[in-house]
């Protein structure tokens, strides 16, 4: 599965066994992406809550 990084537009490959809630890094811009949904695939930029 491939979709577009919301930050830089580069293609992001989602592993076949990816789960909703996983955090993946864009290989191009390194931004953290939150897998909102695995099927259909949807990601959004993840920003951690300040501790």
Site residues (CB under 8 A) for another protein?
15, 17-19, 21-25, 32, 46-49, 51
Pick 9 or 21: Cβ nearer another protein:
21
Nearest distance in Å: CB 8, another protein: 16
Pick 9 or 15: Cβ nearer another protein:
15
Nearest distance in Å: CB 49, another protein: 4
1, 20 Cβ separation under 8 angstroms: no
Nearest CA to 10 out of 48, 43, 47 is that of 43
């Amino acid at each position: 599965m491939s979709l577009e990084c919301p930050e830089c537009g580069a293609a992001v490959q989602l592993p076949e066994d990816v789960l909703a809630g996983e955090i993946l890094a864009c290989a191009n811009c390194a931004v953290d992406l939150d897998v909102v949904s695995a099927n259909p695939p949807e990601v959004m930029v993840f920003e951690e809550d300040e501790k």
